Structure 1
């Protein structure tokens, strides 16, 4: 796959926080989201991925709601447009 370099922390989300709309879980897990730049490699599929592609805010593919919600993905497009926005924490 791609080799990337993390350039900035964007958000730290608690999966159990109600604003994310994930199904209830008996535990808390924290998701850290980073802005990264591709520094090498190439797109490679595996047993975890069937396709690799880039998409815009109006072409978001179906998501796995237990992992990432539409509002989270849309928020990261906001970070792209406003790179100096503060890091978000739950």
Structure 2
């Protein structure tokens, strides 16, 4: 772990301890101490990442209760041994269709929803490829822990239309991938999806 990652880990640990203390603590003076620790953790994160204070407040300090990971789903959709990727409008980088899991959706339902919203594809999830801790695989390291769920999906129908999030969609061979959005998916993760698609006996990967 490099120095930047370690610094962010310390800030994240402080924030998590402070958040738990605010949730479970009842003593008014202890709560004041936890609020101060949480504020310091936010200032540490802002200083190291350069993110605006409002964004730090929303992403890093906006949760309540016991801190748990957020969930991100990704749809691996294949045709002729090529994988479907969408281009993010803001960054012009490519990723598997996916995003945050809505509070009222199962991970499979959310995968279907994101595939339709970002790629215009109606799909059916057929297999969980992997469940991963984002910070073990993707950069940059984020303050909020994220669990990524990759689904192998069967394409049923659909056609891409530009939308608020993505402005292009295409199928790519593994040896001809475009510039990837590494925070969303790496070449290693795309390679894993190809392996799952080509292996009828694929077993879901997860971290122990």
Partner Cα distance (1:36, 1:81) in 2: 13
- 1:67 is the counterpart of 2:184: yes
Q: Which residue of 2 aligns with 1:9?
A: 128
Matched residue count: 88
Higher relative contact order (CA 8 A, sep 6+): 1
- Bigger proportion of residues as helix: 2
Shift of 1:47: 2.3
After the TM superposition, which residues 1-90 of structure 1 pair with which residues of structure 2 at under 5 Å, given as runs?
Answer: 1-17=120-136, 20-90=137-207
Shift of 1:36: 0.6
Shift of 1:24: 1.5
Asked if 1 retains the 8 angstrom alpha-carbon contact of 2:134 and 2:146, the reply is yes
TM-score normalised by structure 1 residue count: 0.88
The runs of 4+ residues in structure 1 deviating greater than 4 Å are: none
TM-score normalised by structure 2 residue count: 0.40
Partner Cα distance (2:149, 2:200) in 1: 17
SS at match of 1:40: strand
Residues 10-66 of structure 1: CA distance to partner in whole angstroms, max 9, x if unpaired?
11011122xx14212222110101011111221222121121111111111111111
Shift in alpha-carbon separation, 1:33–1:8, aligned structure 2, 3 A: same
Which consecutive residues of structure 2, in runs of 5 or more, have no partner in the other structure? Answer: 1-119
Partner Cα distance (1:21, 1:68) in 2: 7
